Amino acid sequence: MELFCLNNIESIQSGYLKKEYSVVEVAHEMLKECKKYQEFDVWSCLDEEILLKRAKICQDKIEKNEIRALLGIPIGVKDIINTYDYTTEMGSPLWKGFEAGNDARVVAQLKGEGAFVAGKTVTAEFAVDALTATRNPFDKSKTPGTSSSGSAAAVALGLVPVALATQTAGSIIRPSSFCGVIGFKPSFGIVPRVGVLKTTDSLDTVGFMTTNVENIRKVFDNLIVKGIDYPFSYHAFHNKNRQKKGKRPWKLAFIKTYTWDNAKDYVKRDIEQWIRKINNEDGVEVVEEDINSMIHDAHEVHRTIYEKSLSYYFQNESLCKDEMSEGMLHMIGRGREIEASDYFHALERQDQLLADMDRFMEKYDAIISMSTASEAVQRGCRELDDPSLIWNLLHLPTVNIPAFKNQESQMPFGIQITARKYNDYLLLHLIEEFAQRHYIMQNIRDITYKPFDI
């Protein structure tokens, strides 16, 4: 059974319904693959008995024809997200063995649609940036990226077709780029965070990694809050002025941001070549824009909000210095030195940036930018700044597409496509059309793929 070529959710479910294999057989195959790739340290918690029990429940539902949108799909869950069946240790020895006793709302929603939790994926300490034991699937000497390292590696290795992740700075986009998977970070606020570790109120966002463009919409539909009780997203989703009209060309802004200067030459070359290629295609118009004067202080604003929040939410944990990483303690220490007035000023500045960016995005369907300034770096080396932090600060929905490989090292790196806040479905429409037109990769298993033969 070539199970792990079946990374498309609909294809997996089609196999179930045709009785080509059962959910229990899928679970057994997954366990074999997990043992095969054990050295990559993807899982913080995985229990064979629990996994097979949940798979059997799903199989029983299939046999009773109780079909749901994600029935029988195994998912990885980042280990800062509560799960009833598994511990939630948050990448810290301080929370070793902690049992939340409940599912986070996002987990409950996915389970309600028939998915089952395969296991908990490794995260950086409190989802910040301490290096984990997880290895990059393309080169074990290199980082998989933090903090959603286990989720990215699990998807890249084919252990699960979907893994939940979170982003406060670049923790979905960066690991996705480094591990060559699709990473989707929705608009801030439209995926519920109940039962998820809080680090920063105005930045934390729940998203996911996956293997196939067609999976994104299916998972997203079953993660987000819906209905008039959520007026901001509801009215935006139903606002026809935010939708692409007719057959006009896609209008895209190519934005380098101030992080471009530090990017590696191969990143700049491949992205610029890709931009030139799609700009010559029918139905696409790309305009290079410089918004550095607008966003010049984005990293500083983010740092102020982030570190002040960490110093508040982890003040008790920081008393246990022997159980905390040096980097985390330094960030908490810097956060304590930030005056409350500076923190509130940074929040006001974030609101101003949100408004400025929303006005800018009225002209465009999406932004094209680099996902990361390089391929994955050697473990222990400093990662270069990339624009995903900026788009996260601005609450924009964004996706990493694993579009490129460094021809010298054969390591992947991605391109980032970002839309206006709450234009998540427009972004999905764009990505799906680009995949159909072969501008971007449809399936991450197509390891020979290069857009336009770049």
DSSP symbol at 122: P
Nearest CA to 251 among 369, 365, 367?
A: 365
Can you give the pLDDT of all 454 residues of the chain as single tens digits?
454 455 899 999 999 999 999 999 999 999 999 999 999 999 999 999 999 999 999 999 999 999 999 999 999 999 999 999 999 999 999 999 999 999 999 999 999 999 999 999 999 999 998 989 999 999 999 999 999 999 999 999 999 999 999 999 999 999 999 999 999 999 999 999 999 999 999 999 999 999 999 999 999 999 999 899 999 899 998 898 888 877 899 999 999 999 999 999 999 999 999 999 999 999 999 999 999 999 999 999 999 999 999 999 999 999 999 999 999 999 999 999 999 999 999 999 999 999 999 999 999 999 999 999 999 999 988 888 899 999 999 999 999 999 999 999 999 999 999 999 999 999 999 999 999 999 998 887 654 444 434 4
DSSP string, 225-237: --STTSHHHHHHH
Please count the residues of the chain: 454
d(CA 203, CA 76): 22
| 3-state DSSP assignment of residue 370 | strand
Q: Which two tokens stand for residue 179?
A: 């591990």
Look at strands 43-45 and 74-78 and give their pairing: unpaired
- How big, in percent rounded to 5, are the helix, strand and coil portions of the chain? 45, 15, 40
Q: Tell me if 374 sits within 8 A of 264, measured CB to CB.
A: yes
Residue type, 12: I
Residue type, 323: E
DSSP symbol at 385: P
Q: Tell me if 108 sits within 8 A of 345, measured CB to CB.
A: no
pTM: 0.96
Q: How far is CA 354 from the centre of its chain?
A: 21
Residue type, 400: N
DSSP symbol at 451: G
Task: Report the DSSP beta bridge partners of residue 74.
Answer: 116
Q: Tell me if 27 sits within 8 A of 52, measured CB to CB.
A: yes
d(CA 59, CA 309): 44
Please name each of the domains of the chain with its CATH number: 3-221 (3.90.1300.10), 242-453 (3.90.1300.10)
